[in-house]
């Protein structure tokens, strides 16, 4: 996915939901802060989104521009309508979002996760693709160990999961920042 593709999804999701703010919480939210992110981080054809003020409209987004839709077939990328609870995010994440608002979003504001909040959610999820993503973020120096270790406890994890997340962070930053 490219930045212009994400902008298209934001524009379409806003039109479908009737909401002027679309939150992007999946891996492709990286395009908010890093519009020219390395291609290795942009392999997904899916953007996880929800309308900030109309959560009830997430299913409409999923149905209209989701996986297998005409939109997906036509453009090769799609949106997954989701909810704020789909990711384990540190407290205060909404205060750190990165905004996308330009002529390509047609007045709809995209609210993308800040890279460290995104990374914490991926460390918590812990699937192989998530851990590959966080390792790449560290390798490309897009995240910083100290900031991740500050934010991880704010995700309200139990002690066991917090220890696991901390170990995953440390593994990605062995011998580095």
Task: Summarize pLDDT for 10-61 with one digit per residue, the tens.
Answer: 999 999 999 999 999 999 999 999 999 999 999 999 999 999 999 999 999 9
Each as own residue / partner, the long-range contacts of residues 55-63 (CB below 8 Å, 24 or more positions apart, any chain) are 55/83, 55/84, 57/16, 57/17, 57/18, 57/19, 57/81, 58/17, 58/82, 58/83, 60/16, 60/17, 61/13, 61/16, 61/17
Kindly report, residue by residue over 135-152, the tens digit of the pLDDT.
Answer: 999 999 999 999 999 999
Domain boundaries, the chain: 3-114, 116-172
pLDDT of residue 177: 60
pTM of the model: 0.94
pLDDT value at 112 more than 80: yes
């Amino acid at each position: 996915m490219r930045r212009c593709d994400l902008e298209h999804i934001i524009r379409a999701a806003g039109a479908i939901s009737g909401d002027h703010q679309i939150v992007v919480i999946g891996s492709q939210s990286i395009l908010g802060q890093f519009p020219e992110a390395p291609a290795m981080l942009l392999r997904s054809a899916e953007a996880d989104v929800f309308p900030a003020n109309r959560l009830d409209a997430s299913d409409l987004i999923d149905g209209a521009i989701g996986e297998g839709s005409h939109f997906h077939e036509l453009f090769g990328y799609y949106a997954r309508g989701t909810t704020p609870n789909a990711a384990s995010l540190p407290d205060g994440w909404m205060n750190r979002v990165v905004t996308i608002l330009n002529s390509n979003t047609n007045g709809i504001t995209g609210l993308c996760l800040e890279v460290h909040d995104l990374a914490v959610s991926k460390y918590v999820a812990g699937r192989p693709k998530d851990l590959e993503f966080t390792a790449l973020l560290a390798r490309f120096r897009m995240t910083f160990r100290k900031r991740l270790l500050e934010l991880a406890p704010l995700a309200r994890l139990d002690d066991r999961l917090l220890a696991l997340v901390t170990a995953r962070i440390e593994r990605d930053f062995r011998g580095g920042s």
